[in-house]
Amino acid sequence: MSVADEIKARLNIVDYVQQFAQLKRAGKTYKACCPFHNERTPSFVVNPDTQSWRCFGACAEGGDVISFAMKRHGWSFSEALAELGKLTGVEVRRQTPEQKAEQDQHEVLRGLLQSAADAYHEGLIGAMGRDVLAYATGKRGLTAATISQFKIGYALPGWTHLLDYLTQLGYTPDQAVESGMAIRNDEGRVYDRFRNRLMIPIRDERGRVIGFGARALAAEDNPKYLNSPQTPLFDKSKTLFGFDMAKSAIRDSETAVIVEGYMDAIQAHQAGFANVVAQMGTAMTDTQIRTLTRTAKRIVLALDADAAGQNATRRSLETARAALQADFGGRLGVDIRILSIPGAKDPDDLIRETPDQWAALVAGAQPVADWLIAMEMAELPPNASIQEREAVARRVLPLLTVSEDNLYQRDNLQKLSLRLKLPERELLDWAAEQTRIEKARQPRPAPPRPAAPTFHDGEPPPLDLSTLTPPEPDENGGAVVELPAPRRSAVPFPELEQQCLRILLRQPTTLYAVNRTLRALAENDRLLLDGPLTDLCLEDFSHSDLRAIMQVFLDAIQQVDAEPLDYLRQQIDPSLQPHLDAILTDDALVVYNRVRGMMSADLRFVWQNNQRVLMSVDGSAELVEKALYLRGNRLKREREILSLMQVDAAAGQDDNANVFYTQQIILSKTAKQRIDAELGRLGTVQRE
Ligand SMILES: [Zn+2]
């Protein structure tokens, strides 16, 4: 049981929320005027069965008692756990022997990396590094103060300089490999990863060395920049170079500037622009954005002007949009801007040559929308077809709707309409549609969606028409008939969750097949059995209505008085009845309705007969696979929260909490790996 679960088990949400809202009983739920926004008609509901709250009004969000407390008091997740832990007597910071062992291992690796940084720095300022130091201060334009502040170093040529030094200090070759500083080849020989390179230590938020970026010194050495590999301490998708030194400047200026390379960031700091951080050579990630939005109100992306840079910028923007809309509904008010550097220069060069121009460029960075419209227009051919122009509009609109500022949105719509020669009315409709879709997705995280839908991504698999008999003329003339989509409830459910529930409701015993699989994957590991590989449960469902139905289902299979489905129909909250019906709507029938116009009379006959057979097939195998995807999705969701908590703990210099969350993340990753392996074994490929 997780700390959060333990708190939730001890703290009734009704009792807690009662202190902040005038709850009145309404059927199985409680209603009140929302404590978070001003209203006269109650649209705030607390459901004691699911231990959840929801504001159906202006907030349009909901969650559990922890998210309520976070929102009410402005707490971070870990603060909420700490406070509610005190209230309920749940000890928040526990450490198992395994966690202790891992913390010790991390300490060893940190010590090793710090020693490596010291050795490299000595190498640069010592006799052997004379030429390289001249290069760093000359060609790269770094001052002695910068070299010392960033502890820049030099990895000597040769195969075992660092390794020998580390072993002298008592570190083992295994530890050197594990830290990413050494490589073991197929013959088992261990040697230095970095040779004859300028070494730049990469630090975590607390300034502790977690890896290195290394620039080649010899022209023939490839790649030009080499980073530490992923290690227990270094995850480049979560790291922002320079953040430890930029934190306070970002807080003071409320602006974070993101550049592409660490040399750019170092140069900026040297010139006095201390609010600059660097990505680690990838498009910006969710975690990086969240880290910055803790203190920055404005994020300026200053990426290279070449085509690759622009693509990276666009990927970063999409990540930014997804992150903001998923968790904050765009209400966070982070202002994302793009800094275009004239003349295809690196920030590094520009800052060195004309630092004043850099300051002006940051101040005058373009709002995302303006930049995006300009870029899309530049790529559009002069006589673009209506389809091409529509495609541009659909790409740009979602990013325009991030802004909560209506005036700004309207202004951009006008611009877009003018540039694309498309009626503003049409663009407005699309924008509204986009907002509806995004609202429906909240508050679940919305990762950037792949171009082609995959079935576990919430869409049914594309129908393979080639396997059907070629259409013959029938009473519809053989044409493909576009039938209206099947009736659905107003808010679309995640398809995969709905499919799982459908199988469970029809064949309740399939649940045991799923739980057997999960337990087998846990391999008797208590932490996994009680944690990420626990039996299928409410938390696997992200949609609160589906959770509610799942809860009644779990109750249903605990009792013996009625058939589970009958029990469910009797016990379910009347408001959920239409949802239950939607879930039980027959998939096969939907498909049949869609393609029946193309079927010959014979094929229709075969279909109708076989459908009955299909209904009686054991759904265990299908459910196991789908439930594993479901659990995988949940682990991903939870890991985002865990990462946030870990970052919080690290920022608060809380070692115990940091270690605890790190352990939880590792457990979650282990479980996810086993799930993926099992899915691989089942003959499918899990796409990240
Ligand atoms: Zn509200």
Q: Please indicate, yes or no, whether residues 261 and 391 belong to a single structural domain of this protein.
A: yes
The answer to whether residue 387 sits within a structural domain is yes
Residues 304 and 208 in one domain: no
Q: For residue 62, how far is its CA from the centre of ligand 1 (angstroms)?
A: 9
Place of tokens 């709707």: 401
B/e letters for 39-61, b = 16+ CB within 10 Å, e = fewer, are: eeebbbbbbeebbbbbbebebeb
Judge whether 123 lies within some domain.
Answer: yes
Would residue 103 count as lying in a domain?
Answer: no
Cα 38 to middle of ligand 1, angstroms? 7
Q: Are residues 51 and 118 in the same domain?
A: no
| pLDDT 10s digits, 440-451 | 654 444 343 333
Tell me the C-alpha distance between 437 and 325, whole Å: 11
- pLDDT, mean of residues 290-300: 81
Query: What is the Cα–Cα distance from 33 to 39, expressed in whole angstroms?
Result: 6
Compute, in angstroms, the gap from residue 636 CA to the centroid of ligand 1.
28
**Percent of the chain residues topping a pLDDT of 90:** 31
**CA–CA gap between residue 449 and residue 464 (Å, rounded):** 22
- Close Cβ partners of 398 (under 8 Å, ≥ 6 residues apart): 321, 434, 438
Same domain, 199 and 280: no
Q: Tokens at residue 382, please?
A: 């002069």
Q: Higher pLDDT residue, 271 or 589? A: 271
- Residue 105 within a domain: no
How many domains does the structure of the chain reveal? 4
Q: Tell me the CA–centroid distance for residue 69 and ligand 1, in Å.
A: 14
- Most confident region among 46-60, 334-348, 580-594, 599-613 by mean pLDDT: 46-60
CA 407–ligand 1 middle distance (angstroms): 24
Q: Are residues 218 and 142 in the same domain?
A: yes
Query: Do 207 and 77 lie in a common domain?
Result: no
**Ramachandran region, residue 216 (left: φ > 0; alpha: ψ -120 to 50; beta: rest):** beta
- 436 assigned to some structural domain: yes
Confirm if 66 and 13 have CB atoms less than 8 A apart: no
In this structure, are 474 and 420 located in the same domain? Answer: no
Query: From the CA of 405, how far away is ligand 1's center (Å)?
Result: 19
Is residue 99 assigned to a domain? no
Do residue 642 and residue 532 come from a single domain?
Answer: yes
Ligand 1 centre from 61 Cα, in Å? 8
* Same domain as 497, residue 428: no
Ligand 1: distance of its center to the CA of 60 in Å? 7
CA of 28 to the centre of ligand 1 (A): 20
- Rounded to whole angstroms, the Cα distance separating 682 from 292 reads 40
Res 305: pLDDT:
59
Q: How far apart are CA 410 and CA 587, in angstroms?
A: 41
155-159, 248-252, 623-627: least confidently modelled range: 248-252
Rounded-to-integer distance, Cα 535 and Cα 610, Å: 33
Identify the domain containing residue 262 by its residue range: 242-448
| Distance between Cα 351 and ligand 1 center (Å) | 46
Residue 307 pLDDT grade (very low, low, confident, very high; cuts 50, 70, 90): low
Compute the distance from residue 13 Cα to the ligand 1 centre, in Å.
17
3-class secondary-structure state, position 559: coil
| 541 and 663 together in one domain | yes
Same domain, 171 and 24: no
CATH code of 193's domain: 3.90.980.10
User: Average pLDDT in the 412-437 region?
Assistant: 76
- 39 CA distance to ligand 1 centroid (A)? 8
Q: Average pLDDT, whole number, for the chain?
A: 79
CATH number of the domain enclosing 286: 3.40.1360.10
Which of 500-509, 554-563, 621-630 has the lowest average pLDDT? Answer: 554-563
Q: How far is the CA of 43 from the centre of ligand 1 (A)?
A: 7
Do residues 298 and 385 share a domain? yes
Last residue of a domain, one of 88, 103, 135: 88
Domain contains 459? no
Per-residue pLDDT reduced to its tens digit, 142-180 = 999 999 999 999 999 999 999 999 999 999 999 999 999
pLDDT at 598 over 70: no
